[in-house]
Structure 1
Amino acid sequence: MKPATDDAPRRRIPRTANRISLAAEEIFHAPYPEPDEMVFLARNLVQVTLPHSDPGDVPVWGRTNGNLTLTIKPDWTLDPQTNQPTCLGLPYGTIPRLLLFWITTETLRQKSRKITLGDSLSGFMRELDLTPTGGRWGSIPRLKKQMERLFRAKISFEERRTDGELKGTRWLDMPVAPQGELWWNHQQPDQSSLLGSWIELGEAFYDSILAAPVPVDLRALLALKNSPLALDLYAWSTYRTHRVNRSGRKAFIPWRGLAKQFGGDYANVKDFKRKAKQVLRKVQAVYPGLVLEDRDGGFNLCPGRTAVRKSAAETF
């Protein structure tokens, strides 16, 4: 794709629509991705996700899905100029979501907690049309900031359980990358790699990736990459379709519950429903196996074709 120009804001909608249309046509003729077109995301991060927009320097942020709650805490550092504590902030938007897809996929390939952020990440960025550019509003400053926020954040899952008269809580705290190095050459924004940068995933985070990765189609991610909600609903719909296929029964999805799960950035359920309906139409364009039926207060998610071949995902 051509690099962004000054008229990018005016062209964004048609470019996005064209990208979705092209991906939909390709997926219609070749429904299942090739092995190198499959990417993965840890199941816990499919069920509950990151902020869509910047929540600011808050001490903790969270979302709930049923009895499962995700919270994210930002890391802090000392400002080298003022020597005052500074909050790094929380990861938000599309970039950390795409990074999590890449991290999960690389972890499954390498079977190692230590991941080199080199040519593989640069190639993934190029494939997603995130060509590195400098300047205040270029992709390098945004990528660097979101990398630091994501890698140094602590993600926690809390599950509430009931067993007869007993009530309990189970939790899992997961530092994303307790160790790492990030190097940047700001004079060469088109550098082919990240200069020996690396991260070492936290043990619990690494184990969660290996335990239950959810496969998706990279071609669909490329089409939906500009919308955090679209990325969330696409990954979620592939996972839920697999589940209803196994049960053989439709699943009723209430708008109120889905808004609580994914719509924390919306004023109310009505606003979320309106936006989610628009996004789900885009998701269905690149994932034709997603079968939905309107119902009062929500919709049915029906059995349908999976996004990837089951055999291909199992042998990855």
Structure 2
Amino acid sequence: MAPDGEPETRRLLASDYTATNGAFTLTVRAGTRRGPSHLHPRLSLGVPSGGLARLLLVFLVTEAKKRKSPTVPLGRTLADLCGALDVTPSGGRRGRLRYLFDQLLRLATCSVAFQWETGTGYGHLGRERYRGESVLLVEAYDLWWERATATAATGAPAPIDGPAVAGGTITLGAQLWDLCRTACFPLDWRKIQALRDYPAALDLYAFLTHRLDKLQTDGAPEVALNYDQLHAQLGSHYATDEAGRLTPRGKKDFGHNLRRALRRVQLLWPALDVATPRGRFVVRSTGPDVPHR
């Protein structure tokens, strides 16, 4: 068992997540924690994933923007943080407290790499070019988790489902903080909360808000995107060919899930004007969901 009471086998998580579109590759690398022995000195914490990880990232960026500082305090206890996120602070091995702290630690320790690889192959006429950039979402973090104090009668450790406190701070990476100050666009926190259990719909909501903000800035009436273009922004491991384009099966599966996510977004955003003719996604300019102040 791990020090936190979880089986060590549950810690053997993926060390990275990779998505490729043509020459571009996005890689999210997980942080690590101390392993159980010298044979396994480090174990992957896993990459941040799911709606809660997205919710945490939006929260951190929002708080940094409001405070005009890259350093965000997380409150005195995990319950305080849960209150700020509107997450029920349930305990136990599978409770939201443990899951929240786990996703927070994953987010704080991961790194993101952007790579572009182009070329015409080997040989005396070959030409290749490699470009890349690495981004730290979090530059510094100080997190702690502590179960309730030992019982007074026996001195034994508190039960694993007992109350817990935590705290600390997170400092956003320099590049992310620069983007927060110069290129942020507002989202409706209520919609983020409503969609947190539907990661695909949450991603689509953020994408549409960004595109509608750009349409308003450019003065364009609409933008039409095909499924391959949308897959490059929102897709994950749908079937593609060697050139990175969706296969017929991949396009069918992606289109089905995209339309299902769109229906969830439209329930919360009635003013949204999006048409889905065969194989395309047409977004008509209605202005962003939340106007800039």
TM interval, shorter chain, is 0.7 to 0.9
Deviations 1:72-119 (A, max 9, x none): 111223215566221111111011100110111111122223221116
Q: Secondary structure at the match of 1:77?
A: strand
- Among 151, 155, 172, the residue aligned to 2:133: 172
Deviations 1:35-63 (A, max 9, x none): xxxxxxxxxxxxxxxxxxx9x84443233
- Among 70, 75, 93, the residue aligned to 2:31: 75
Q: Within 5 Å, which residues of 2 pair with 1:138-287?
A: 138-158=95-115, 170-187=131-148, 194-195=166-167, 197-247=168-218, 248-266=220-238, 268-287=250-269
Larger radius of gyration between Structure 1 and Structure 2: 2
Checking the alignment, whether the CA contact within 8 Å between 1:125 and 1:131 is kept in structure 2 is yes
Checking the alignment, whether the CA contact within 8 Å between 2:74 and 2:81 is kept in structure 1 is no
Checking the alignment, whether the CA contact within 8 Å between 1:176 and 1:201 is kept in structure 2 is yes
Checking the alignment, whether the CA contact within 8 Å between 1:289 and 1:305 is kept in structure 2 is no
The equivalent of 2:244 in structure 1 is none
Q: Does 1:297 align with 2:279?
A: yes
Q: Within 5 Å, which residues of 2 pair with 1:86-125?
A: 86-118=43-75, 125=82
Change (3 A) 1:256 1:282: same
Pairwise CA distance, 1:65:
6.4
Pairwise CA distance, 1:256:
2.7
Give the number of the structure with larger relative contact order, counting CA–CA contacts within 8 Å between residues 6 or more apart.
Answer: 1
Checking the alignment, whether the CA contact within 8 Å between 2:108 and 2:138 is kept in structure 1 is yes
The equivalent of 1:6 in structure 2 is none
Pairwise CA distance, 1:156:
2.1
What is the TM-score of this pair, normalised by structure 2? 0.74
Alpha-carbon distance in 1 for matches of 2:52, 2:183: 22
Greater mean deviation of Cα atoms: 221-230 or 78-87: 78-87
Checking the alignment, whether the CA contact within 8 Å between 1:160 and 1:168 is kept in structure 2 is yes
Letter in 2 for 1:130: V
Letter in 2 for 1:72: V
Q: CA RMSD in A?
A: 3.1
Change (3 A) 1:250 1:119: farther
Bigger fraction of residues in helix: 1
Letter in 1 for 2:18: G
Change (3 A) 1:167 1:308: farther
Checking the alignment, whether the CA contact within 8 Å between 1:253 and 1:298 is kept in structure 2 is yes
Change (3 A) 1:58 1:241: same
Checking the alignment, whether the CA contact within 8 Å between 2:140 and 2:172 is kept in structure 1 is yes
Alpha-carbon distance in 1 for matches of 2:163, 2:291: 36
Alpha-carbon distance in 2 for matches of 1:249, 1:286: 22
Checking the alignment, whether the CA contact within 8 Å between 1:72 and 1:90 is kept in structure 2 is yes
Letter in 2 for 1:84: P
Change (3 A) 1:226 1:151: same
Pairwise CA distance, 1:161:
9.3
Q: Secondary structure at the match of 1:90?
A: coil
Provide structure 1 residue ranges, at least 5 long, that are not aligned to the other structure: 1-53
Checking the alignment, whether the CA contact within 8 Å between 1:155 and 1:174 is kept in structure 2 is yes
Provide structure 2 residue ranges, at least 5 long, that are not aligned to the other structure: 1-9, 120-126, 149-160, 240-249
Alpha-carbon distance in 2 for matches of 1:308, 1:96: 22
